[in-house]
Amino acid sequence: MEVIVCRTADEVAEVAAAKVARVCRDVGPGVVIGVATGSSPVALYESLAQRVKDGRLDMSKASAFALDEYVGLPPGHPESYAEVIRQTVTEPLRMTPALVHTPNGFAENIEQAALDYEQAIVDAGGVDVQILGIGSNGHIGFNEPTSSLASRTRIKTLTATTRQDNARFFDSIDDVPHHCLTQGLGTIMDAHEVVLVAQGVHKADAIAALVEGPVTARWPGSVLQLHAHATVVVDLAAASKLELRDYYVQTYAEKPSWQRFDAR
């Protein structure tokens, strides 16, 4: 796992976007990206969009798969993740809408929708680079604590913490759905590369558990310790509970130039 500690949230976005853009260019026009919603990756998407605008990146033939979707929000609901992804990813990155996918949380048969989503990822050739945020309780996707480390896309019940954290996007906490469809931890682990971003002191416990704690379903993000190509990009506040923080700073400063994301 590579841990990159940045001075500011802006730097987190720039470093993570450089990493994602590097994978997109290396894989080529048909790259498949995995996308998270929430606040954490917003500036990263803006940085990628700037590259698209400048002509440094072309995502018109790329595919995207969202991590998750609320269950029960009708299509077009402003807080549905399909809508959020359309506004923050598909349009700014000038992606082809038919190539951008979200689990169908409004399906009559949710179990079938989960199976269909797994199959769609396989049919696309798998995810080349998965962008992740992390919940204050350690969830990635909506794999809440005690999720199976081998889980696949399925329905999950949101914890009270997650519903409270996400209430800011809704008129009232009563409007936050209780269930979601989420890629499983096993699904996320199948991505060839993962890039996780976190900012702020409210993520410090989750980041410490992810990077330095035991691998445990109690802190689902810790499964990434078993991923061969995981990059965790955090600001100083999110890094504040990392015991080996100085080592991560030193490692990044001393990274050989040929290994840097922006090497070409």
H/E element, 180? strand 179-182
Tell me whether residue 146 is exposed, middle or buried, using C-beta atoms within 10 angstroms of its C-beta: 0 to 12, 13 to 18, 19 or more.
exposed
The active-site residue out of 14, 104, 128, 139 is 139
Shortest Å distance, C-beta 40 to ligand F6R: 3
Shortest Å distance, C-beta 191 to ligand F6R: 13
Shortest Å distance, C-beta 162 to ligand F6R: 6
The active-site residue out of 14, 128, 144, 190 is 144
> Does the annotation count 101 as an active-site position?
no
Backbone angles phi, psi at 140, to 5 degrees: -125, 145
Q: How far is residue 154 from each of residues 187, 233, 243, measured CA to CA in Å?
A: 10, 28, 35
Q: For residue 12, which of 42, 56, 51 has the smallest C-alpha distance?
A: 42
Q: DSSP characters for 33-66?
A: EEE--SSTTHHHHHHHHHHHHHTS---TT-EEEE
Shortest Å distance, C-beta 163 to ligand F6R: 11
Shortest Å distance, C-beta 211 to ligand F6R: 16
> Does the annotation count 143 as an active-site position?
no
**Where in 111-150 is the site for ligand F6R (CB under 6 A)?**
133-135, 139-142
> Cβ atoms within 10 A of the Cβ of 193, count?
22
Residue 68 or 118 with smaller CB distance to ligand F6R = 68
Residue 105 or 135 with smaller CB distance to ligand F6R = 135
CA–CA gap between residue 90 and residue 222 (Å, rounded): 29
Does 184 contact ligand F6R by CB under 6 A?
no
Per CB under 6 A, the list member of 5, 17, 40, 220 interacting with ligand F6R is: 40
Residue 40 or 187 with smaller CB distance to ligand F6R = 40
Residue 135 or 249 with smaller CB distance to ligand F6R = 135
> Does the annotation count 166 as an active-site position?
no
Buried b (16+ CB within 10 A) or exposed e, 219-255: bbbbbbeebeebbbbbbbbbbbbbeebeebbeebeee
Q: How many residues sit close enough to ligand F6R to count as binding (CB under 6 A)? A: 14
Per CB under 6 A, the list member of 3, 15, 32, 67 interacting with ligand F6R is: 67
Per CB under 6 A, the list member of 14, 68, 118, 128 interacting with ligand F6R is: 68
**Single-letter amino acid code for the residue at 55:** G
> Does the annotation count 54 as an active-site position?
no
Active site residues: 68, 137, 139, 144
Residues that bind ligand F6R (CB under 6 A): 36-40, 67-68, 133-135, 139-142
